[in-house]
Amino acid sequence: MARTIPAPPSAFTQDPAEATGSGVNGLRRDPSVLPEDEGGLVRKVADRDLLDPLAGNLAPVPFETSPEGTSTTSGKASVPMFRRVRERLPVPPDHILAEIERKVHVGERLSAADGMALFASPDLLWLGRLARHAQRRISGDTVFFNINRHLNLTNVCKAKCAFCSFRRDDGEAGAYTMTVAEAVATARATVATLPITELHIVNGLHPDLPFDYYVDMLRALSDALPHVHLKAFTAVEIWWFARITGKSYAEVLHDLREAGLGSMPGGGAEIFAPAVRRRICGYKSTAEDWLAVHRTAHGLGIRTNSTMLYGHIETAADRIDHLLRLRDLQDETGGFQVFIPLRFHNANNRMSDLSMATPLETARIFAISRLMLDNIPHLKAYWIMLGLDTAQMLLEFGVDDMDGTVVEERIYHMAGAHTPHEMGRNELLRVIRDAGREPVQRDTTYNVMRRFARDDDPSDDLPIAMPVQSGALGVIQ
Ligand code: V47
């Protein structure tokens, strides 16, 4: 059946330097032919179905662009490189919203048109109640968290995603690459003070490191820490490994699993809609490749997470398109565990002109995600990115997971996040309980490890975030 998403206004790519070019599909085995991404590459992609499902009822009307968004680096007249769109979606008639409410209550699937209507619905608290209703059916009053550590092996990256503050060129100030011994020592040092159950490993696309580096890395980490689950490599990294080795996704994943890979994080999804994707991360794999890697992983029994980067130049229709592509794949495989909307952070990157999504926009996106993704069990508020206050509020908008202890976060703190690097686990328990919910420590694949009763504050108050060490591996702030 044709997917029907209301047509986005045609003029939403306002980059004056918007380039055109030929597609890069079909080049998977030859990394050398891919041009550097400067935000203007064009991929050859199938057109989105532009039928209007609402028969004129709710078709978006032209929107205004926000006044912010100027680039002043040249010293000449300022030229906006990226602008957020302010869409003016017509408020849906009551009977459409009532029909959506009925569907949610009987557990009926929402359509693309329903999703668009929710983006225009005037009552955010009503939307929150619906999302909480949908979430309660899945996980009741439970709010999950885990005890993990993030490890970014290298920030050297061939892609130059416009939103990224973390990447560096090889040899540039602040560039780093950990040796296997350094990574193992870092992980061991964490385990000595914190009972982590997971290492979360996400990295740049290093132009020169061989695939063996990653295989050796996983093998060394799993030998050193056999009880720690290795959640490693986004789908874009797997796509990269396939490019540099000539192996298929299945072969790459098989080798990594043999070496200790447990599951995969959800990064690299950004926004699937091709017109936006090519502008913000044109060098990365296409949406189709991202989805193909996850499909392959699921086929091999490897569970994965999913994400969407929001709050930049994407439209409501792009978000719905993204959610439905994930939902379709989940119908096919059932391998996604969780969806994590990632709020764009605007410091120190080429999209710094954009203002960031507000907590209210964030609440709407989380709630709609919960309602549209009826087949992905969990919705995560990544507190280190959102702040603990906003993450707590999102528990009323469909969230049932607050992520973990993280320990040392680089990607968001380099992009302007100000969340603490030092906080105790009892603080996280307090925030969850304060919302009338029950904190549950989980492992990576959502097995319950410990339920925390009302007054069960552990005397060993573990640090859920720690001061970041500066030095050889680069300074965050
Ligand atoms: O793909 C990078 C995002 C992702 C910025 O699976 C940014 O549990 C906002 O994979 N502003 C990588 N977002 C992180 C990732 C992840 C994070 C948390 C949980 C999980 C999980 C996975 O970080 C990238 C990109 O979408 N990102 N820069 C930025 N300036």
> How confident is the model over 214-273, as pLDDT tens digits?
999 999 999 999 999 999 999 999 999 999 999 999 999 999 999 999 999 999 999 999
What digits encode the pLDDT tens for the residues 1-22?
Answer: 446 565 433 322 223 233 222 2
Tally Cβ neighbours within 10 Å of residue 31: 14
| pLDDT the model gives residue 5 | 63
- Give the pair of three-digit tokens for residue 258: 């043999």
Substitution site in 203, 352, 411, 419 for ligand 1 pocket (most atoms within 8 Å of beta carbon): 411
Q: Determine, yes or no, domain membership for 182.
A: yes
346 CA: nearest ligand 1 atom: 30
pLDDT band of 423, cuts 50, 70, 90: low
Lowest mean pLDDT among 59-73, 304-318, 385-399: 59-73
| pLDDT the model gives residue 6 | 52
Lowest mean pLDDT among 43-57, 324-338, 370-384: 43-57
CA 382–ligand 1 middle distance (angstroms) = 10
Picking from 288, 198, 213, the residue whose alpha carbon sits closest to that of residue 245 is 213
Ligand 1 site residues, Cβ closer than 6 angstroms: 163-165, 202, 234, 265-268, 270, 305, 307, 309, 340, 342, 344-345, 349, 382, 411, 415
Three-class DSSP labels, the chain: CCCCCCCCCCCCCCCCCCCCCCCCCCCCCCHHHCCCCCCCCCCCCCCCCCCCCCCCCCCCEEEEECCCCCECCCCCCCECCCCCEEEECCCCCHHHHHHHHHHHHHCCCCCHHHHHHHHHCCCHHHHHHHHHHHHHHHHCCEEEEECEEEECCECECCCCCCCCCCCECCCCCCCCECCHHHHHHHHHHHHHHCCCCEEEECCCCCCCCCHHHHHHHHHHHHHHCCCCEEEECCHHHHHHHHHHHCCCHHHHHHHHHHHCEEEECCCCCCCCCHHHHHHHHCCCCCHHHHHHHHHHHHHCCCEEEEEEEECCCCCHHHHHHHHHHHHHHHHHHCCEEEEEEEECCCCCCCCCCCCCCCHHHHHHHHHHHHHHCCCCCEEECCHHHHCHHHHHHHHHHCCCEEEECCECCCCCCCCCCCCCCCEEHHHHHHHHHHCCCEEEEECCCCCEEEECCCCCCCCCCCEEECCCCCCCCCCCC
- Average pLDDT, integer, range 180-190: 95
Domain that holds residue 147: 140-451
Beta carbons of 335 and 63 less than 8 angstroms apart: no
| pLDDT the model gives residue 417 | 73
Q: Determine, yes or no, domain membership for 154.
A: yes
Q: Determine, yes or no, domain membership for 465.
A: no
Beta carbons of 381 and 462 less than 8 angstroms apart: no
CA 56–ligand 1 middle distance (angstroms) = 36
pLDDT band of 78, cuts 50, 70, 90: low
| pLDDT the model gives residue 48 | 28
CA 267–ligand 1 middle distance (angstroms) = 5
231 CA: nearest ligand 1 atom: 6
Q: Determine, yes or no, domain membership for 304.
A: yes
- Average pLDDT, integer, range 197-211: 97
Q: Determine, yes or no, domain membership for 345.
A: yes
Average pLDDT across the chain, whole number: 82
| pLDDT the model gives residue 403 | 85
Cα–Cα dist 283/265, whole Å: 20
| pLDDT the model gives residue 355 | 93
Q: Determine, yes or no, domain membership for 177.
A: yes
pTM score, whole prediction? 0.84
Higher pLDDT, 306 or 457: 306
Our measurement of the distance from residue 422's CA atom to the centroid of its chain's CA atoms, rounded to an integer in Å, reads 23
| pLDDT the model gives residue 21 | 28
As for how many domains the chain has, the answer is: 1
Instruction: Kindly report the CATH number assigned to the domain that includes residue 256.
Output: 3.20.20.70
- Nearest Cα residue to atom 8 of ligand 1: 265
Question: Is the predicted pLDDT of residue 467 greater than 60, yes or no?
Answer: no
Which amino acid type is present at position 345? H
pLDDT band of 422, cuts 50, 70, 90: low
Cα–Cα dist 403/147, whole Å: 8
CA 89–ligand 1 middle distance (angstroms) = 28
Cα–Cα dist 319/115, whole Å: 9
414 CA: nearest ligand 1 atom: 30
| pLDDT the model gives residue 235 | 98
Q: Determine, yes or no, domain membership for 190.
A: yes
Q: Determine, yes or no, domain membership for 293.
A: yes
Residue 177's DSSP bridge partners are: 154
- Average pLDDT, integer, range 193-208: 94
- Average pLDDT, integer, range 319-347: 97
Question: Is the predicted pLDDT of residue 460 greater than 90, yes or no?
Answer: no
